[in-house]
Amino acid sequence: MARVFSGIQPSGELHIGNYLGAVRNWVELQHQHECLFSVVDLHAITQPYDVTTLPQRTLDMAIGLLAAGLLPERCTLFVQSHVSDHTELNWLLNTVTPLGELERQTQFKDKSQRQESVPAGLLNYPVLQAADVLLYQATLVPVGEDQLQHLELMREIARRWNARFAPDGPFTFPEPQAQLTTSKRVLGLDGQAKMSKSLGNTIGLLESSEAIWEKLRPAATDPARKTRKDPGNPDICNIFTIHQGFSPPDVQRTVAQNCRTAGWGCLDCKKVLADNMIATLTPIRERATALKSDPKGVRRILSAGAAKARALAESTMALVRRQMGFLEPAED
Ligand code: SF4
């Protein structure tokens, strides 16, 4: 059994892209491994953000994760800022992280280009990610392709720290392995960009059945299907990708066949998809409604998760502080 760590930013309610790309996999992983999942609010502040809505967005994300199937008795769910060791280890790892590697990270280059003044936190984001994982000596990290570069840097940081402070072994930090997400990435409803709340191209995980259909109806399909008689290619249609997330295999085969032969129109295809999405998402929405009616209960779950995470983190930090040569405080 491996120890798994993964995090998600507190963007408020989950959307189906988060669900299919990450959270559904987490729900399975919690039955196979020892899992820690975190709402990573410390990562969220590396970009401009709304201070007043951050607490509610953090709570809403936790509600979405629990409603989607994370079970507090099977995994540790907590808010990153509730375990202060993340920031301490972040600082310590900064001292062995090469600046050049940080500057080479594709995500940093993308995001920094869009800003006039680049905060150092954006540059150091991958070091905090390394701290998140190494703090728990986690060995498995579920990631999408776009996070592989950060994971490789995390491994490099672990190697450098071990070589400097635990040269004779045993190594304090195992080099974490990637568990690559197998599902194809769902694009936004525009069929162009990544599904993202800021782009307004999402379907929320907790949307009503009516809202799901309202959003699905005008969503982009294979542009080759200009009329009902034109055959399409499901492999380049985002609606088919969403079918692969929600529809059973026999329905997926029918969809592909009907698309290639112009056996049905895109609206027919979307109606079948809407039915399957609604069947999956209705129980999730119902669980979320119950959780929303008890925010104190959700916060208690998060506090219990943070206490479990803190116990693991403190044991790693005691070892790390000793290995780095810090003077221990006197006992009373
Ligand atoms: S029939 Fe379905 S899979 Fe084919 S282009 Fe239309 S929406 Fe996409």
* pLDDT given at position 151: 96
Distance separating alpha carbons of residues 165 and 13, to the nearest angstrom: 41
Polymer length of the chain: 332
Specify whether 111 is catalytic.
Answer: yes
Share of the chain above pLDDT 70, in %: 100
User: If you average pLDDT over residues 248-267, what whole number do you get?
Assistant: 97
pLDDT at 169: 81
The alpha carbon of 29 and the centre of ligand 1 are apart by a number of angstroms equal to: 32
Residues 6 or more apart whose CB falls under 8 angstroms from that of 209 comprise 274, 278, 282
Q: Is 127 in the pocket of ligand 1 (CB under 6 A)?
A: no
Tell me: pLDDT of 135 over 90.
yes
Ligand 1 touching residue 269 (CB < 6 A): yes
**How do residues 61-102 score in pLDDT, each as one tens digit?**
999 999 999 999 999 999 999 999 999 999 999 999 999 999
Q: Percentage of the chain with pLDDT > 90?
A: 88
pLDDT band at 183 (very low <50, low <70, confident <90, very high): confident
CB of residue 242 inside a 6 A radius of ligand 1: no
Q: What spacing in Å lies between the alpha carbon of 236 and ligand 1's midpoint?
A: 9
Q: Which residue has the tokens 């008689």?
A: 229
Tokens of 177: 């392995």
The per-residue pLDDT for 116 is 84
Q: What is the pLDDT of residues 210-219, one digit of tens each?
A: 999 999 999 9
- What pLDDT score does 13 carry? 87
Position 274 confidence tier, pLDDT thresholds 50, 70, 90:
very high
CA distance 168 to 171: 8
Omega cis (within 30) before 72: no
| Mean pLDDT within 101-116 | 90
Kindly tell me if the per-residue pLDDT of 198 is higher than 90.
no
From 111, 184, 215, 271, the catalytic residue: 111
Structure token digits, residue 30: 């919690």
Q: How far, in Å, is the centroid of ligand 1 from the Cα of 50?
A: 38
237 CB less than 6 Å from ligand 1? Answer: yes
At residue 4, the pLDDT reads 98
pLDDT of residue 12: 87
pTM: 0.94
> Residue 243 CA: which ligand 1 atom is closest?
3
Asked whether 243 lines ligand 1 (CB < 6 A), one says: no
The pLDDT mean for the chain works out to 95
Determine the pLDDT at residue 282.
97
pLDDT at 225 over 80: yes
**Angstrom distance (rounded) from CA 246 to CA 238:** 13
- Protein residue with least CA distance to atom 6, ligand 1: 266
* pLDDT value, residue 121: 93
Cβ 232 under 6 angstroms from ligand 1: yes
Query: Has 215 been annotated as catalytic?
Result: no
Q: Is 270 designated active site?
A: no
- Taking the C-alpha atoms of residue 94 and residue 101, their distance in angstroms, rounded to an integer, is 12
CA distances from 242 to 191, 276, 280 (A): 11, 10, 12
